[in-house]
Structure 1
Amino acid sequence: MPDWVVERGIGETRFALLEADQIIEARILLDGILPAGTIVDARLVSVGTNGRNALAVAPDSTELLLPHRPAGVAEGALLRLEIVREAIPGTEPWKRPLARPAAETPTPHPSPRSATIGELDRAGWSDLLDEAATGLIDFRGGQLRLSLTPAMCLLDVDGTLPPDELAVAGARAAAHSIRRFGVGGSIGIDLPTTHGKAPRAAAAAAIDAVLAGVPFERTAVNGFGFVQIVRPRRHASLPEIYAGDRAAAEARALLRRACTHVGALTLAAHPAVIAALERQPDWTDQLARQVGGAVALRSDPRLAISAGHAEPS
């Protein structure tokens, strides 16, 4: 049975759904973000226009958008609300979290277990982050290129297999990536043009098999090889987190790698990563407490943005 695990980190909390020691779904919750499913008592500060797009403020000062204002509620009233979509960084940082009136009986959610030491690494966490950061995902016989736009997430399939085989293999790999990265909203997959309807039907069936059991809708694969998928969007996907602030994401990943060290150390990284760490001094303070020694920073422009490392001081 797939098993959700959680790993608390510096600046973020990591979640992964594991099956046979492989990550089949993952997400990162940044510190300061109200998680989807959270129930808060917020104050209504604007009723919006014609009952739409009302605005409330949570106790931590987070502004929450209510697409549909509850009838009969005036400005200044307290509302018990449920977060249904978290703040989304990246291409749409202006989007407020979405909320709705909370049900009287909240839906219980199973609690993930704490990940054991090294569990996420053995399951390929670092490779997953590299794919999310670069948007390049290799599969046997081809490669996906993931691109974010304000309208949708696009996955382009290319490779060396014959077109009919590549369409099926690419559709399967794209569906796996959509789930692994936690991509929601509108998604487009551009498959190679195939010969006849049978390969297009097989590609659609491959998508259905991978996404079985999770909410989604899709169109048919059209004659040009394009298929659109729509999934609920409750939180930022891993690519959106990297697109939102690549340097900060790489800084948190570096802190995760460094926390296994013992004693004083120096973090050597690209100048953008060092600047991200300097903007969050509490992050290095937390690391210092974990490793039991002082943490220094060294900027090295020769290093790639993802090549930061820890050195004994």
Structure 2
Amino acid sequence: MPEWLIERGIGETRALRVDGARVLAAKLSWPDEPGTGVVQAKLIRRPAGATRGLARTADGLEINVSGLPKDASEGREITVAITRAPMAEKGRLKRAQGHHFAEGSKAGPPPNHLLGKEVHRFPAGLWEDVWADAWDGEIAFAGGSLIASVTPAMTLIDIDGDLPPRDLALAAAPAVADTVRRLDIAGSIGIDFPTLPDKAQRRAVDTALGEALDDWPHERTAMNGFGFVQLVARLEGPSLLHRLHFNRTSAAARMLLRRGELAEGIGPRLLLSAHPAILDRIEPAWLAELAKRSGRRVETTRDPALALHAGQAQVLAS
């Protein structure tokens, strides 16, 4: 039976929903970032007569709040249920979104809370494959590939391959469904299928995509004459694709620490070799935690020739 596995890493918590050796879905949480959940905040701005306003928590998190009661005035402490975490984008930060949390309402999970069976480490290769897909934004399937990219308006998925347009679109439909789950993509998603002038062919692709997404809550448009389909799903925070696109050094630094934890060999020293930008992003507390978990003295070496994602971990015998 499919189950969620949780791996508590250094600087992040990872979750995979697996069925045997297959990854069905994935999630990633960084504890130093706010997530969804119920928080206390001060209402700092509310236009006259509006049911929406701006609140700020004690640690400075700003939240666009809806559903404000009539007696919620500026300067008052209110309870807010965050429904979407803040999201960094090119040149800006999207504020967190939430709604007024009335007394007696059922509380949701605390921020950044992932549920599942905790394991020391995932089965070999599973997280690495998901991470590589999110890092590259290119996912291969039989007959073609998906190119996924993040824009301020939506996540775009482009389909490319050598098959005839109808066959390529039908082969891509289950790959699209698999990708949105594995990379935790939500919000507005645009899919650029090959152009199919024939309405019957477009309906066949719509049917295939609907069947592949049957258990994934969403709304979907029918394919238009240019091959474009839009999906809309509830967005609670950044996807893996979004995190690794806008926070590349942070993501690569955490992956390097994971490689350090998994490094095998006999010796008292653990050497991390990485691009200087990656080592600059690693906090001293993270290195101390890695030393504790590995039972070795951790050393680092800066190598500008290494790509950001190509950091290495090696156990040294002396």
Which segments of 5 or more consecutive residues in structure 2 lack a partner in the other structure? Answer: none
Deviation at 1:272, TM superposition (A): 2.2
Residue aligning to 2:247: 245
In the alignment, the residues of structure 2 paired with residue 251 and residue 212 of structure 1 have an alpha-carbon distance, to the nearest angstrom, of: 36
In the alignment, the residues of structure 2 paired with residue 53 and residue 300 of structure 1 have an alpha-carbon distance, to the nearest angstrom, of: 50
Residue aligning to 1:10: 10
Q: Which runs of structure 2 are paired with 1:21-32 in the superposition (5 Å)?
A: 21-32=21-32
Instruction: Give yes or no for contact 1:47–1:75 (8 Å, CA) kept in 2.
Output: yes
Residue aligning to 2:182: 180
Residue aligning to 1:273: 278
Residue aligning to 1:75: 74
Give the aligned CA root-mean-square deviation in angstroms: 2.2
Instruction: Give yes or no for contact 1:90–1:241 (8 Å, CA) kept in 2.
Output: no
Alignment partner of 1:236 out of 235, 238, 245: 238
Identity %: 36
Q: Which runs of structure 2 are paired with 1:80-99 in the superposition (5 Å)?
A: 80-91=79-90, 93-99=92-98
In the alignment, the residues of structure 2 paired with residue 272 and residue 111 of structure 1 have an alpha-carbon distance, to the nearest angstrom, of: 29
Deviation at 1:46, TM superposition (A): 1.9
Q: TM-score, normalised by structure 2?
A: 0.89
Q: Structure 2: which amino acid aligns with 1:145?
A: I
Alignment partner of 1:128 out of 127, 130, 133: 130
SS of 1:55's equivalent in the other structure is: strand
Instruction: Give yes or no for contact 2:173–2:212 (8 Å, CA) kept in 1.
Output: no
Q: Do the aligned partners of residues 68 and 101 (structure 1) sit closer, same or farther apart at CA in structure 2, a change above 3 Å counting?
A: closer
The C-alpha deviation readout for 1:143-194, integer Å capped at 9, x for no partner, is 1111111111111101111211101111221121112111111111111122
Q: Do the aligned partners of residues 145 and 51 (structure 1) sit closer, same or farther apart at CA in structure 2, a change above 3 Å counting?
A: same
SS of 1:121's equivalent in the other structure is: coil
In the alignment, the residues of structure 1 paired with residue 79 and residue 175 of structure 2 have an alpha-carbon distance, to the nearest angstrom, of: 41
Instruction: Give yes or no for contact 1:171–1:189 (8 Å, CA) kept in 2.
Output: no
In the alignment, the residues of structure 2 paired with residue 121 and residue 51 of structure 1 have an alpha-carbon distance, to the nearest angstrom, of: 53
Q: Structure 2: which amino acid aligns with 1:271?
A: P
Residue aligning to 1:287: 290
SS of 1:259's equivalent in the other structure is: helix
Q: Structure 1: which amino acid aligns with 2:41?
A: A
Q: Structure 2: which amino acid aligns with 1:28?
A: L
Q: Do the aligned partners of residues 65 and 120 (structure 1) sit closer, same or farther apart at CA in structure 2, a change above 3 Å counting?
A: farther
Q: Which runs of structure 2 are paired with 1:118-267 in the superposition (5 Å)?
A: 118-122=121-125, 124-261=126-263, 263-267=268-272
SS of 1:131's equivalent in the other structure is: helix
Residue aligning to 1:106: 106
In the alignment, the residues of structure 2 paired with residue 209 and residue 191 of structure 1 have an alpha-carbon distance, to the nearest angstrom, of: 17
Q: Structure 1: which amino acid aligns with 2:79?
A: R
Residue aligning to 2:35: 35
SS of 2:277's equivalent in the other structure is: helix
Q: Do the aligned partners of residues 47 and 114 (structure 1) sit closer, same or farther apart at CA in structure 2, a change above 3 Å counting?
A: same
In the alignment, the residues of structure 2 paired with residue 259 and residue 50 of structure 1 have an alpha-carbon distance, to the nearest angstrom, of: 55
Instruction: Give yes or no for contact 1:90–1:243 (8 Å, CA) kept in 2.
Output: no
Deviation at 1:223, TM superposition (A): 1.4
Q: Structure 1: which amino acid aligns with 2:127?
A: W
Residue aligning to 2:50: 51
Instruction: Give yes or no for contact 1:217–1:229 (8 Å, CA) kept in 2.
Output: yes
Q: Structure 2: which amino acid aligns with 1:24?
A: L
Instruction: Give yes or no for contact 1:179–1:211 (8 Å, CA) kept in 2.
Output: no
Deviation at 1:304, TM superposition (A): 2.2
Deviation at 1:68, TM superposition (A): 4.3
Q: Do the aligned partners of residues 108 and 61 (structure 1) sit closer, same or farther apart at CA in structure 2, a change above 3 Å counting?
A: closer
Instruction: Give yes or no for contact 2:170–2:205 (8 Å, CA) kept in 1.
Output: yes
Q: Do the aligned partners of residues 56 and 31 (structure 1) sit closer, same or farther apart at CA in structure 2, a change above 3 Å counting?
A: same
In the alignment, the residues of structure 1 paired with residue 288 and residue 46 of structure 2 have an alpha-carbon distance, to the nearest angstrom, of: 42
Query: Which deviates further from its counterpart, 61-70 or 247-256?
Result: 61-70
Instruction: Give yes or no for contact 2:38–2:107 (8 Å, CA) kept in 1.
Output: no
Deviation at 1:119, TM superposition (A): 2.4
